[in-house]
Amino acid sequence: MFGNLTGWHLLVVLAVILLLFGAAKLPALAKSMGQSARVFKSEMKEMKRDDEIAAQSSDAPRPTDAGTSPTVAPEQRRSNDPTV
């Protein structure tokens, strides 16, 4: 697609960018693009980590899956006798 581009084409594109944004705004533009890339990368890592955690939790056997009865809360184990 871009196989026909040469160094001259790149220079022309850079000159047009310089004319459009001005020399004073280019460092700020580059800084904001770098920050955006860093945020994007960190969000991608966070999403991968969340997916791995979800996969690990879905692979872990549940107590009801192993044939054991679910645990009963201590309040449910008590009898109705108020002296206990």
Work out how many domains the chain is built from and give that number. 1
Phi-psi region of 22 (alpha: psi -120 to 50; beta: other; left: phi over 0): left
What's the pLDDT at 37? 95
Q: Answer whether residue 21 is part of any domain.
A: yes
Q: What Å distances lie between residue 1 and 4, 10, 11, CA to CA?
A: 8, 15, 18
In a domain, 40, yes or no: yes
The predicted structure's pLDDT at residue 3: 73
- Residue 39 domain boundaries: 8-49
Residue 46: its pLDDT value, please?
95
Q: What is the pLDDT of residues 26-63, one digit of tens each?
A: 888 889 999 999 999 999 999 999 999 988 887 766 55
Distance, CA of 52 to CA of 36 (rounded, Å): 24
DSSP state of 61: P
pTM of whole model > 0.85? no
Is 77 inside a domain boundary? no
pLDDT (0 to 100) of residue 28? 87
Residues 80, 74 contacting (CB under 8 angstroms)? no
Residues contacting 17, CB < 8 A, separation 6+: 26
The mean pLDDT of 14-19, rounded to a whole number, is 88
